[in-house]
Amino acid sequence: MTRETWATRAGFILAAAGSAVGLGNIWRFPWVTAENGGSAFLVVYLGIVLLVGVPGLLGEFVVGRRGKKSPVGALRDLSGSRLWGLWGVFYVVTAIALISFYSIVGGWILRYFGESALGLVGARPAYFAAPGQYFGGVAAGLDALAFHLLFLALTALVVFGGVRRGIELGTKVMMPAVLVLLVGLAVWAGARPGAAEAYAFYLRFDLSTVRANFFDVLGPAAGQALFTLSLGAGTMITYASYIDEDRSLPFDGTVIAVLNTLVGVLAGLVVFPLLFSLGVDPAQTAPGPGALFVGLAGAFAQLPAGAVVATAFFGVVVLAALSSSISMLEIPVSFLVDEYGLTRRRAVAVVTGAVVVTGGICAINPTIRGTAVFGFVAGPLVDTLLTAGLAAVLVFVGWVMGRDAVSEFRSGAGDLAGGLATPWLLGAGVALPVFLFFTLLTNFGV
């Protein structure tokens, strides 16, 4: 069987941007920002997107397009070493960890979306505002389990369709819808009372805070930058493995990073004015994942036409989340197809079955040795896996591929961008792994 490829140029960009744009931009970004010093965090974060994110994306693209296999096969074939192939399995594991918690949050959002669409925003305020409900203190249990399964089923359905008729077609519809709806919501939110205050909170440039907190926010900022760009999980390796033309990777990478940042900033322009218009202080509402959404959902219940706005908002989040979760599922699926010759359908069934179990554990959210599983997976575990995962890709690019990486970077890039290949390789192969290792240590509180 010949390996699947993207049908169009836009297909790859939209699929990769669809992977990047997700809960990370809308659900995680605001609370990580609020927890880590607000605007100070924003500055460090943007710097990391530019200096680590884009070169990192290019690292995964180069491995994927050159290797034309799942991360396991690509790393093994390009190096000629089974050990690197074994390391590739790390990405399969990371992907499973990711989708295990991601589809729980996706499930919450599905529920909020459904209830908003049914007009229950004002009628059943408890669903939308009460702490302990869904997002309060992170919802767990049977509810979370059921909606996790629903979200997972939707994800599997798209991946079932294959690269062209599932992922490409799906993201070609989802991404434009996300952008258009978000812009509309941001304009609407900007007209709320308190919007000016919200913008001031969100976009204030405070250099002294950056200086004071620089090292404290470095780890979380790096973690968020990798997560939001889908880096370190092998997603971008996998997606780039379906490219069969000499398109400019630096161009594509830049477009994807810009789109992703735009959606993050837009999401803040929606979320913060809504919270401020009701006098909710985002710095107070963000002690953990989801708490911000309690405030938001409460806001919708009190707003004029709240049901319509809530439906649009949660619709955006559902679409963004789906276009990301399919990219997570695709990693283990491509591994099973490439390495074991499974049909796509069978591979999807196997992987989905596994995530029913691992995600189920996150949904029930037991506390093991004083640590709640969900929060651990969604935070420190994923941050650590992605950081180590990207560092390894970059070491691979710099030290194993070397000249091949440079020529792959140049292929289709044109003279201008192609000229960046060597500086990129030096940065990616030497400086970035050191930086990522350093942030790994700060994650462990060193």
The footprint of Na ion (CB under 5 A) covers 20, 22, 24-25, 228, 260
- Work out whether 23 is an interface residue with ligand PHE (CB under 6 A): yes
Tell me which of 14, 20, 140, 267 binds ligand PHE, using CB under 6 A: 20
- Work out whether 24 is an interface residue with ligand PHE (CB under 6 A): yes
Q: At closest approach, how far in Å is the CB of 68 from ligand PHE?
A: 20
Amino acid (1-letter code) at residue 136: G
CA dihedral defined by 87, 83, 250, 27, rounded to 10 degrees?
A: 0
**Residue whose token pair is 């990777």:** 249
Q: At closest approach, how far in Å is the CB of 439 from ligand PHE?
A: 17
For Na ion, the closer of residues 25 and 241 by Cβ is 25
Interaction residues for ligand PHE, span 315-374 (CB under 6 A): 324, 327-328
Q: Which two tokens stand for residue 417?
A: 């961008």
Q: At closest approach, how far in Å is the CB of 424 from ligand PHE?
A: 22
Tell me which of 228, 285, 311, 439 binds ligand PHE, using CB under 6 A: 228
19 binds, among ligand PHE, Na ion, none (CB under 5 to 8 A by kind): ligand PHE
**Closest C-alpha to 318, from 183, 117, 166, 129:** 117
User: Residue 95: CA atoms inside 13 Å, Cβ hemisphere, count?
Assistant: 30
For ligand PHE, the closer of residues 307 and 331 by Cβ is 331
Q: Count of CB atoms within 10 A of residue 17's CB?
A: 25
CB 205 within 8 A of CB 39: yes
- Work out whether 22 is an interface residue with ligand PHE (CB under 6 A): yes
User: Residue 221: CA atoms inside 13 Å, Cβ hemisphere, count?
Assistant: 26
* Structural element, H or E, at residue 367: strand 367-368
- Work out whether 59 is an interface residue with ligand PHE (CB under 6 A): no
Q: At closest approach, how far in Å is the CB of 24 from ligand PHE?
A: 2
- Work out whether 19 is an interface residue with ligand PHE (CB under 6 A): yes
Calculate ∠ Cα 355-358-363, nearest 5°.
105
- Work out whether 227 is an interface residue with ligand PHE (CB under 6 A): yes
Q: At closest approach, how far in Å is the CB of 382 from ligand PHE?
A: 8
Q: At closest approach, how far in Å is the CB of 88 from Na ion?
A: 23
Helix (H, G, I), strand (E, B) or coil at 371: strand
- Work out whether 285 is an interface residue with ligand PHE (CB under 6 A): no
For ligand PHE, the closer of residues 102 and 276 by Cβ is 102
For ligand PHE, the closer of residues 17 and 120 by Cβ is 17
For ligand PHE, the closer of residues 19 and 171 by Cβ is 19
103 binds, among Na ion, ligand PHE, none (CB under 5 to 8 A by kind): none
Per-residue burial over 153-186, b = 16 or more CB atoms within 10 Å of its CB, e = otherwise: ebbbebbbbebeebbbbbbbebbeebbebbeebb
Q: Which two tokens stand for residue 21?
A: 């744009």
Residue 392 to residue 394: CA distance in whole angstroms? 5
43-51, 156-164, 175-183, 225-233 -> range binding ligand PHE (CB under 6 A)? 225-233
CA distances from 429 to 395, 416, 442 (A): 5, 21, 21
Dihedral sign from CA coordinates of 128, 132, 136, 139? negative
17-25, 104-112, 117-125, 192-200 -> range binding ligand PHE (CB under 6 A)? 17-25
Contacting residues toward ligand PHE, per CB under 6 A: 19-20, 22-25, 98, 227-228, 230, 233, 235, 324, 327-328
